[in-house]
Structure 1
Amino acid sequence: MKYHKIDSALFIKNRKNFMGKMQPNSIAVFNSNDIYPISADSTLPFAQHRDIFYLSGVDQEESILLLYPDCPNPKNRELLFLKETNAHIAVWEGEKLTKEAALATSGIKTVYWLQDLEKVMAEIMSQCDTVYINTNEHYRANVETETREDRFTKWLKNKYPAHSVAKSNQILQRLRSVKDQIELDLLQQACNITNKGFRRVLDFVKPGIWEYNIEAEFMHEFLNNRSKGFAYTPIVGSGNNANVLHYIENNQQCKAGDLILIDAGAEYANYASDMTRTIPVSGRFNDRQKAVYNAVNRVKNDATKLLVPATLWAEYHIEVGKLMTSELLGLGLIDKADVKNENPDWPAYKKYFMHGTSHHIGLDTHDYGLLHEPMQANNVFTVEPGIYIPEEGFGIRLEDDLVIQKSGEPFNLMRDIPIEIEEIEDLMNKS
Structure 2
Amino acid sequence: MKYDQIDRKLFIKNRKNFMAQMKPSSLAVFNSNDIYPVSADSTMPFQQHRDIYYLSGVDQEESILVLFPDCPKENHREILFLKETNDHIAVWEGEKLTKEAAFETSGVKTVYWLKDMEKVMFELMTQCDTVYINTNEHYRANVETETREDRYTKWLKQKYPAHAVAKSNPILQRLRSVKDPIEIDLMQKACNITEKGFRRLLDFVKPGVWEYEIEAELMHEFLRNRSKGFAYTPIIAAGNNANVLHYVVNNQQCKDGDLILLDVGAEYANYSSDMTRTIPVGGRFSKRQKEVYNAVNHVKKEASKLLVPGTDWAEYHKEVGAMMTSELLSLKLLDKADVQNEDKDWPAYKKYFMHGTSHNIGLDTHDYGILTEPMQENMVFTVEPGIYIPEEKFGVRLEDDLVIQKSGEPFNLMGNIPIEVDEIEDIMNS
The two structures share one fold, judged by TM-score above 0.5 = yes
Which amino acid in 2 is paired with 1:175?
A: L
**Aligned equivalents of 1:33, 1:331: Cα separation in 2:** 48
Amino acid at match of 1:254: C
Aligned match of 1:46? 46
The 1-side partners of 2:135 and 2:380 are apart by: 23
Instruction: Provide the residue aligned with 1:252 in structure 2.
Output: 252
Aligned counterpart, 2:104 = 104
Identity percentage of aligned residues = 80
What CA RMSD, in Å, does the superposition of the two structures yield over aligned residues? 0.3
**Alpha-carbon distance between aligned partners in 1 of 2:268 and 2:183, rounded to the nearest angstrom:** 11
Quick one: distance in 2 between partners of 1:406 and 1:131?
Answer: 36
Could you tell me how far apart the structure 2 residues matched to 1:156 and 1:345 are? 44
Match of 2:320 in 1: 320
Distance 1:275 1:340 in 2: 34
CA distance in 2, matches of 1:312, 1:112: 45
Three-state SS of the structure 2 residue aligned to 1:131 is strand
- Kindly report which structure 2 residues correspond to 1:30-179, keeping only aligned pairs within 5 A, or say none: 30-179=30-179
Give the distance between the partners of 2:39 and 2:314, measured in 1 at CA: 43
How far did 1:20 drift? 0.3
Give the TM-score normalised by structure 1. 1.00
* Cα distance, 1:265 vs structure 2: 0.0
SS of the equivalent of 2:81 reads: strand
Match of 2:11 in 1: 11
**Using the alignment, how far apart are the partners of 1:7 and 1:51 within structure 2?**
17
Take 1:82 and 1:226, find their aligned partners in 2: how far apart are those partners? Answer: 25
Instruction: Return the offset for 1:59.
Output: 0.1
1: CA distance between counterparts of 2:289 and 2:277? 13
SS of residue in 1 equivalent to 2:279: strand
Distance 1:167 1:203 in 2: 50
Q: Distance in 2 between matches of 1:186 and 1:89?
A: 30
The letter for the 2-side match of 1:283 is G
Q: CA deviation at 1:170?
A: 0.4
SS of match in other structure, 1:27: strand
What's the CA shift for 1:38?
Answer: 0.2
Q: Secondary structure at 1:315's aligned position in 2? A: helix
AA of the residue aligned to 1:2: K
What amino acid does structure 1 have at the position aligned with 2:372? H
Cα distance in 2 for partners of 1:174, 1:203 equals: 42
Task: Look up the match of 1:389.
Answer: 389
Q: Deviations over 1:300-321 (max 9, x none)?
A: 0000000000001111000000
Write the distance in 2 (CA, Å) between the matches of 1:246 and 1:217: 20
Q: Which ranges of structure 2 fall in alignment gaps of 5 or more residues?
A: none
Q: Tell me the TM-score normalized by structure 2.
A: 1.00
SS of 1:116's equivalent in the other structure is: helix
SS of 1:5 mapped into structure 2: coil
Cα drift, residue 247 of structure 1: 0.1
**Distance in 1 separating the partners of 2:44 and 2:76:** 34
Equivalent position of 2:299 in the other structure: 299
Partner AA of 2:214 in structure 1:
I
Give me the whole-angstrom Cα distance separating, in 2, the residues matched to 1:221 and 1:413. 19
- Provide structure 1 residue ranges, at least 5 long, that are not aligned to the other structure: none
Q: CA deviation at 1:427?
A: 0.6
| CA positional deviation for 1:206 | 0.1
Write out the 4+ residue segments of structure 1 that deviate beyond 2 Å after TM superposition: none
**Residue type of the alignment partner of 1:5:** Q
Aligned to 2:235: 235
- CA positional deviation for 1:171: 0.2
Deviation at 1:425, TM superposition (A): 0.4
What's the secondary structure of 2:65's corresponding residue?
Answer: strand
Query: Aligned with 2:221: secondary structure?
Result: helix
Match for residue 367 of structure 1? Answer: 367
Q: Deviations over 1:177-231 (max 9, x none)?
A: 0000000000000000000000000000000000000000000000000000000
Give yes or no for the alignment of 1:263 onto 2:263.
Answer: yes
Structure-2 separation of matches of 1:312 and 1:98: 46
What is the CA distance between 1:392 and its match in structure 2? 0.2
> What amino acid is the match of 2:184?
L
Q: Could you tell me which residue of structure 2 aligns to residue 400 of structure 1?
A: 400
Q: CA deviation at 1:322?
A: 0.3
Find the aligned partners of 1:385 and 1:332 in 2 and give their Cα distance.
18
